[in-house]
Amino acid sequence: MRLLDYLKSMGYEPINGAYYARIDQWRSWYQGKVRGFHRYSIYNAGKRLPRERAGLNMAKQGCEYWANLIWNHECFVNLRDGTADKVVNDVLQDNDFWRQTNVLIERAWALGCGAYVAYNNRGRAVIDYVTADSVFPLSWRNDDIESCAFAASYNEGAKRLLYLMVHEKNPESGYTVSNYFFEWSKGGDLRPHPTPTGIMEQYTTKKPHFAIVKPNIANNIADVPMGMSIYANCIDTLKSIDLAYDGAKTAMEIGRPRIGVSSNMIGVDETTGEPIQVFEANDIAVYNLGMDMTAKGTVEVKDLTTQYRAAEYEQSLRAQLAVYAQQIGLGENAFKWVRAAGDVAKTATEVVSQNSTMLRAMEKHQNGLRSSITQIVRAVLEMQGLSTEQEITIVFDDSATRDKTQEAKEAWQWVVSGMYPFWRYLVEYKGYDQKDAMEIAAGAAGGAPLRLPGDA
């Protein structure tokens, strides 16, 4: 019995397995080598010859770009209660949350969705970061997945095992979490396997101990709650990008200098009878034309170099990159690598802050991620025996849209003129915590000279 069939036998109605074929297609573009496109064959001289097309792997580049915009180490998870804040952030640090969330976003944007899954492992709060092919929605309301199964495969000696965790929403309140283990045959069939020692087969929770992460865009591929790849509607554009890049690479190869010379340019040593190469033997630009291709008895040198149409390929590639960037919400200039004549050089902050398309899409994606992180933080609070009904704030990095250096200069002038509290300046622009900042500000108010921290 296969996994989807097993879930159906348990009374669930998982989404159609055909959707996972879509995920496989998106993964092949994310990996950068798509069978039938990057790996193909041509028929030449009666033979089928394998070929490999060069590509820029812009599918991954787009997802990586979005992941770095949305989440990085300048983002914070803050709780109003100081004790809970420390406990939660310790758990997140212990689970490599900041780096893994960035990776999870990249993969979720590539494959349509991902998930945080929290559980207790011998007293330690653990967060797994799950990709779309291991997420199996069981019930949902609108696009909100309420019950879900998560699968993971691993090896135990020579056996390949499948671990299935089912989070089922109860009719009244809370969740029931069930753990199942199977032996997994090469054909994908499952046979029940004993639950390992120390793992509870079933337990209940008040809050969901999982949170789905996905691009905050409507799914026009299928009516499912899993979301879709950020480039699901851009496959033709990805092909055009790689065709232009491969064309430029091929043109460069066949357009390199080639010089044809007649065979009588190769002399013969009258003593040894050995041929004397007039040109350097290892010169890849020189080709022997043979006597039958030249006038008899003449010495000929012919330029066989073909024209390299660099401008046409570069123009096509630039245009396709602009189309792709626009399609995935980054704005047409996200992958612009050459400034047009007369353009004024801009900082990275200026490029992002002046890109209204990107800003709107970034805020929309961050709103979706904020809900997911808040949900998994509440799961951690419950696992640690703390109140789950408290204020949680997710602070995103806004350095890409703000020039903080200029803001700090302006704020300092406000401080000097008495229009802005000194302690707030220290917190906002110098990284002090509020207590230390207020002590420094109190010292200044008591007669100490007002100066920037660190000034001589």
Domain ranges of the chain: 3-213, 235-359, 403-456
pLDDT for position 179 = 94
What pTM does this model have? 0.79
Nearby residues of 317 by Cβ (< 8 Å), 6 or more positions away = 241, 244, 245, 248
Provide the pLDDT for residue 175.
97
CB 162 within 8 A of CB 185: no
Distance CA 214, CA 234 (A): 17
Provide the 3-class DSSP secondary structure of residue 18. Answer: helix
Q: Would you say 206 and 385 are in contact if contact means Cβ atoms under 8 Å apart?
A: no
pLDDT of residue 456: 40
pLDDT at 304: 67
Distance CA 445, CA 456 (A): 19
Neighbouring-strand partners of residue 126 = 119
Question: 322: exposed, middle or buried (C-beta count within 10 Å: 0-12, 13-18, 19+)?
Answer: middle
Full pLDDT tens readout for the chain, 456 residues: 688 888 999 898 888 889 999 999 999 999 999 999 998 888 776 788 888 899 999 999 999 999 999 999 889 999 989 999 999 999 999 999 999 999 999 999 999 999 999 999 888 999 999 999 999 999 999 889 999 999 988 888 888 899 999 999 998 889 999 999 999 877 778 888 998 888 899 999 999 999 999 999 999 999 999 999 999 999 999 999 999 999 888 877 776 677 776 665 655 666 776 656 555 545 566 666 655 555 555 556 777 666 767 778 888 999 999 999 999 999 888 887 655 555 544 545 555 556 788 889 999 999 999 999 999 999 999 999 999 999 999 999 877 666 667 777 888 888 888 888 888 888 777 777 777 888 888 877 665 554 544 444
3-state secondary structure of 279: coil
Cα dihedral: 319, 325, 330, 336 (round 10): -40
Name residues whose C-beta falls within 8 Å of residue 350's C-beta, 6 or more positions apart in sequence: 403
User: Is 87 within 8 Å of 384 (Cβ atoms)?
Assistant: yes
Asked if 240 and 232 touch (Cβ cutoff 8 Å), the reply is no
Query: Which residues make Cβ contacts (< 8 Å) with residue 109, sequence separation at least 6?
Result: 62, 63, 66, 67, 215, 229, 230
What pLDDT does residue 113 have? 96
pLDDT at residue 385, as a whole number = 95
Beta bridge partners of 30: none
Label each residue of 137-173 as H, E or C.
Answer: EEEEECCEEEEEEEEEEEEECCEEEEEEEEEEECCCC
In this prediction, residue 136 carries a pLDDT of: 96
